[in-house]
Structure 1
C-alpha cells in the first residue's frame, strides 16, 4: 500500500497494522496479541499499543482482556452497511473538494490516478489498494471539511477490506475510470459534476456489494 517509512512512528505502526487487516494477513475472525503485533511490525510496544487502540475504536480489532485481540470478522451484509454509511459523506467530500481545492492539492490527485491506471493495467490488486488509499487522502486534503474526513477515513478502510476479500481481481479498469471521473470534476471546480461522479462511483461499489452479499 502507501509508503509509510517517513511517517511518525505511531502512524507507521497504525498503517502497518491497517494494511495487514485490509489485505487479510490478519485474517478476519482470527486472534492475536499485542506482543505478536509488536514483533510483526518491529516498531515498539507504545506505538503498537496506540495503533491497536485506534483500530479498536474504528472497529477493526476487539480488545478482550486476558484473551488477546480479535480481528473483526467480515459480516455477510457488512459491505452494504459500510456503503450505506459512506455514500453521503463521500458526496459531501467531493463537492467540498471541487469548491475548495488549492494548487498544492492537485498533484496528489494526479499521482493517485496514475497509480490506479498502472495497477489496472498490471492487474495488481495490492497496487490498486495503495492507489485507492492515496486517492482518499488526496480527496481529504482537497476538501475543506475535516469533520467529514474523520468520519469517512475508517469507512473507506472497511470498504477496501471487503473489496479485497470479495472483488479483487476484477473490475479494476472500471473502478479506475470512475475514480478518475471524480478527479476530473474536482480539478475543474465542478461541484455538481463531482457530486454526480462520486454518486456513480458509489453506485458501482453498491453493485459489487449486492452481487456478493445479496
Structure 2
C-alpha cells in the first residue's frame, strides 16, 4: 500500500475523505443501489462531517452518488454495458495525455510511473486486485500531472474511476490482472521512452484491451 501513502501527501481532509469513499465505491464495499446516510459514511471513513459532506458532493457531481434529501445517499447503479460508453469518452483524452506525458514528464513523474509499474507487476504476481487498483490510480494521477494539461486531466479523472469500478466488477481471476497490468506497464514504458507516437499507440492498445472486458 506504499503507493497510497505517496498519493496522500499534502491532501486536505476533504481530499482524504473523497479518496476513502471513492475506493469503497470502486471496490463495491459501497454496493450499487445501496442507500446510506451521512453518519454511516463518517463512521466508515473516520473523518469529520464537513470533509465527508464535501466528498459526497464531489462524488455526486462525478456520478457515483445520488443525494436524496431526507432519505440519504444512494450509490449509483453499475450497468456493465456502460463501460463501453466510458471508454468511448476516455479514448481520445487518454491518447492526448499519453503523447503529452511522453513529451513533458519530469523526473518525479517518471519515478512515480515506474513505482506504479512495479506495483502493477507485483499485483499480478500476487493476484491482488486491490493493489492493482491502487497502482492504477497512482499511474492515472501521475499521467494527468505529467501531461501538463489540467483541463484534460480534470475531465478524464472521474472516467478513470468509473473504469476501475467496472473493471473490479468484471475481472475474473489472476489472468485478468496479469493482462491488465501488462497493458498498463506497456503504456508506462511508452511514456518513459519519451516518444509521443509510441505512447499514443500504447494508450490506444490499453483502451482496446479494456474493451475486451465489455459484455
TM-score of the two chains, using structure 1 as the length reference: 0.94
Residue 145 of structure 1 corresponds to 149
Residue 60 of structure 1 corresponds to 64
Residue 182 of structure 1 corresponds to 187
The whole-number CA distance in structure 2 between the counterparts of 1:161 and 1:62 is 16
The whole-number CA distance in structure 2 between the counterparts of 1:24 and 1:180 is 25
Moved more, 173-182 or 126-135: 173-182
Q: 2:197 pairs with 188, 192, 200, which one?
A: 192
Residue 32 of structure 2 corresponds to 28
Gaps of at least 5 residues in structure 1 are none
The whole-number CA distance in structure 1 between the counterparts of 2:41 and 2:59 is 13
Question: What secondary structure does 1:62 align onto?
Answer: strand
The whole-number CA distance in structure 1 between the counterparts of 2:88 and 2:8 is 34
Q: How does 1:1-214 map to 2 (within 5 A)?
A: 2-3=4-5, 6=9, 7-169=11-173, 170-209=175-214, 213=215
Contact 1:79 1:159 in 2 (8 A): yes
The whole-number CA distance in structure 1 between the counterparts of 2:28 and 2:188 is 29
Question: What secondary structure does 1:208 align onto?
Answer: coil
Gaps of at least 5 residues in structure 2 are none
Moved more, 43-52 or 159-168: 159-168
Contact 1:125 1:168 in 2 (8 A): no
The whole-number CA distance in structure 1 between the counterparts of 2:93 and 2:8 is 30
Give RMSD over aligned pairs: 1.3
Contact 2:33 2:75 in 1 (8 A): yes
The whole-number CA distance in structure 1 between the counterparts of 2:53 and 2:205 is 39
The whole-number CA distance in structure 2 between the counterparts of 1:104 and 1:126 is 24
Contact 2:80 2:166 in 1 (8 A): no
Residue correspondences, number: 210
TM-score of the two chains, using structure 2 as the length reference: 0.94
The whole-number CA distance in structure 2 between the counterparts of 1:168 and 1:100 is 36
Distance apart, 1:104 and its partner CA: 2.0
Distance apart, 1:172 and its partner CA: 1.5
